[in-house]
Structure 1
Amino acid sequence: MTSQTSRHASRCDPGPAPRPVRIALRPARSLTALLLPVLLALAAVPVPAAAAIPVAGAQQAQATPEADTAEEAPRFFADLDDLPLMAGLQEMAEASIAFDKPGGRIGEVYAEGAVPAEQVRAFYEEALPHFGWQAVAENRYRRDGESLELEISEAAGVTTLRIALSPTD
């Protein structure tokens, strides 16, 4: 009987306590570091133009110069990069100047193109308020301590735009 008791006791005896398991934790990498290689690989994959992708029930748009300029990405002046440059106008960078002084920014930018002067005026009347500019008089705007003046002239089918920026008096 003792042999049965000892066998039975050995089956129930858990033995020595198990040793604790140690897990080495490494600092987690940032999400950017993990996704950067994936994003770079995706950026290299060519994407077809939206017009080349057929959509059920959609009519194909005709390619016209007006359609091309309407879908053009917004552009901004190089020296005053928070002022939009109207589609159809080309910046005259060689004539532009800009200074960032402690008292505020001072600058003049120029653009020209074969766009009617009234269209240029209408574009800036609509666009500038979206950038926080408030009209204070015809072709004059104010925003955060700055004054902006538009000068639009047209000669021989070419419109010239001058934008002058200065601190508010």
Structure 2
Amino acid sequence: MHSLMRIPIFIAGLLLLTLTTGRAEQFLTGFEDVPLMPGIEPVVGSDVMFDSPVGRIVEAYATGTVTSKALRSYYRAALPQLGWTLTGPLKFSREGERLTIDLYGQSPLTVRFALRPAMD
């Protein structure tokens, strides 16, 4: 009897998990392994990409109604899981590249993502 009662709970849990993870994670155009935080959207046409003799240079903007505190927390948690090392406030490095995230305004919050070769 008790095992029959667990089946609906198990199914409800699976449904909830499917609904919360159903959104495919988006990544910024031109950035490998830099996810787009839920709640911000890329600014269409803002991305700039080119290769230089010392490496690639990429810049893009996104905007949304998230708080700067939430955005900082998100990227400080998400990027190290993707191989990025935190080197300063919203500054990261990985494989000879430096990623800087700058914040402007409040609501909406504008976010600038800039990737440059590390010049150490």
Give the TM-score normalised by structure 1.
0.57
Secondary structure at the residue paired with 2:58?
strand
Equivalent position amino acid for 1:143 in 2: R
Q: Which structure shows the bigger proportion of residues in strand conformation?
A: 2
* CA RMSD across the alignment: 2.1
Higher relative contact order (CA 8 A, sep 6+): 2
Structure with the greater alpha carbon radius of gyration = 1
Q: State the match for 2:58 in structure 1.
A: 107
The answer to whether structure 1 residue 84 and structure 2 residue 35 are counterparts is yes
* % same residue: 31
Q: 1:116 touches 1:154 (CA, 8 Å); kept in 2?
A: no
- Unaligned 5+ segments in structure 2 are 1-5
Q: State the match for 2:112 in structure 1.
A: 162
State the distance in 1 between where 2:33 and 2:53 align. Answer: 18
**How many pairs does the alignment contain?**
108
Q: State the match for 1:8 in structure 2.
A: none
Equivalent position amino acid for 2:44 in 1: A
- Unaligned 5+ segments in structure 1 are 1-54, 62-66
Q: State the match for 1:132 in structure 2.
A: 83
Q: 1:108 touches 1:162 (CA, 8 Å); kept in 2?
A: yes
Runs of 4+ in structure 1 displaced over 6 angstroms?
Answer: none
Per the TM alignment, residue 102 of structure 1 is displaced from its structure 2 partner at its CA by 4.3
Deviations 1:43-96 (A, max 9, x none): xxxxxxxxxxxx9232747xxxxx96x422211012224311111111013111
Q: State the match for 2:46 in structure 1.
A: 95
State the distance in 1 between where 2:58 and 2:36 align. Answer: 15
